[in-house]
């Protein structure tokens, strides 16, 4: 299998965490190459018309995207602890967590494009503030929920928690000045413990 990948992408990161934890990383060839809405990676766009990574090219030529679809596919390929539980109640909690963190990552990536790619004279501050409002609201919900529930009631192989960790890592990577640990101490304590997982350490974002 080949994975269109970038070491800065939180979406690619969550896939690599699952791949490393399950030993599937040995079977995945990483394809690098930057992409952005204003500079399409044509090799990638030939496989995923949305021009986005991650995209997974299977042995038979089929291509899977987006990151949640790839995660769910890879989870069928190993016999270790599953990242998506079988029972509906647990599964939909995991999917909801993944969806919330994915949405927050979307907002953070869009902010990055707006503040880094877009020419300064065309920047729209209210739009960035609107994206960041989604991030702040998501952080507040996660902090409140983690106070009530035990995130470790399953083993750490959990697509929702993995995506939340990738989202927080991306937040620290791109906006280190945003002191979310002060406003979300429970989430911060969880992140500090989760961060020590070897697959999380092996996939820290880097330019
Ligand atoms: N919903 C997608 C989001 C992926 C995404 O936004 N990837 C970014 C890199 S972190 C990208 O490829 N952006 C290029 C573009 O928007 O054209 C997923 O879960 O995989």
Q: Which atom of ligand 1 is nearest to the CA of 53?
A: 12
Ligand 1 centre to CA of 53 (Å) is 5
User: Which residues form the pocket of ligand 1, taking CB atoms under 6 Å from any ligand atom?
Assistant: 9, 11, 35-37, 51-54, 65-68, 102, 109
CA-to-CA distance for 50 and 93, rounded, in angstroms?
Answer: 28
- pLDDT, residue 156, reads 79
**Residue ranges per domain, the chain?**
2-75, 88-201
pLDDT more than 70, % of the chain: 98
State the average pLDDT over residues 77-97: 95
Ligand 1 centre to CA of 153 (Å) is 31
At 181, the pLDDT band (50, 70, 90 cuts) reads very high
Q: pTM value?
A: 0.97
Ligand 1 centre to CA of 163 (Å) is 14
Span 41-53, pLDDT tens digits: 999 999 999 999 9
Nearest to 33 by CA among 57, 8, 50: 8
Q: Is the pLDDT of residue 151 over 70?
A: no
Q: Which of 45-59, 140-154, 166-180 has the lowest mean pLDDT?
A: 140-154
Q: Which atom of ligand 1 is nearest to the CA of 9?
A: 10
State the average pLDDT over residues 170-196: 96
Q: Which atom of ligand 1 is nearest to the CA of 65?
A: 20
Q: Is the pLDDT of residue 161 over 80?
A: yes
* Pairing mode of beta strands 55-57, 2-4: antiparallel
- Pocket probe for ligand 1: among 55, 102, 109, 112, the residue whose CB has the most ligand atoms within 8 Å is 109
Q: Which of 76-80, 133-137, 156-160, 200-204 has the lowest mean pLDDT?
A: 156-160
Residue identifier of the C-alpha nearest atom 11 of ligand 1? 52
- pLDDT, residue 149, reads 84
Average pLDDT, the chain: 95
Q: Is the pLDDT of residue 203 over 90?
A: yes
* DSSP codes of every residue in 85-129: -SSHHHHHHHHHHHHHHHHHHHHHHHHHIIIIIS-GGG--HHHHH
CATH fold label, 2-75:
Glutaredoxin (3.40.30)
Say yes or no: domain 88-201 is CATH 1.20.1050.10. yes
- pLDDT, residue 33, reads 84
Q: Is the pLDDT of residue 152 over 70?
A: no
**Coil, strand or helix at 30:** strand
State the average pLDDT over residues 180-191: 96
Ligand 1 centre to CA of 192 (Å) is 26
State the average pLDDT over residues 158-170: 97
Tokens standing for residue 64 = 């899977």
């Amino acid at each position: 299998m080949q994975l269109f990948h970038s070491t800065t992408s939180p979406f690619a990161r969550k896939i690599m965490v699952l791949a490393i934890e399950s030993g599937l990383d040995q079977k995945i060839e990483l394809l690098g190459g930057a992409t952005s809405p204003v500079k399409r990676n044509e090799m990638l766009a030939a496989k995923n018309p949305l021009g986005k990574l991650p995209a997974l090219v299977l042995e038979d030529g089929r291509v899977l995207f987006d990151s949640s679809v790839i995660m769910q596919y890879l989870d069928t390929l190993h016999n270790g602890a599953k990242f998506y539980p079988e029972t509906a109640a647990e599964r939909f909690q995991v999917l909801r967590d993944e969806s919330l963190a994915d949405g927050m990552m979307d907002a953070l990536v869009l902010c990055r494009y707006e503040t880094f790619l877009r020419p300064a004279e065309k920047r729209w501050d209210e739009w960035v503030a609107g994206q960041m409002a989604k991030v702040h609201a998501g952080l507040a919900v996660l902090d409140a929920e983690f106070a009530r529930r035990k995130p470790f009631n399953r083993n750490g192989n959990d697509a929702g928690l993995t995506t939340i960790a990738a989202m927080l890592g991306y937040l620290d990577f791109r906006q280190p000045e945003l002191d979310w640990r002060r406003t979300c101490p429970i989430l911060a304590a969880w992140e500090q413990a989760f961060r020590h997982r070897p697959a999380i350490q092996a996939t820290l974002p880097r330019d």
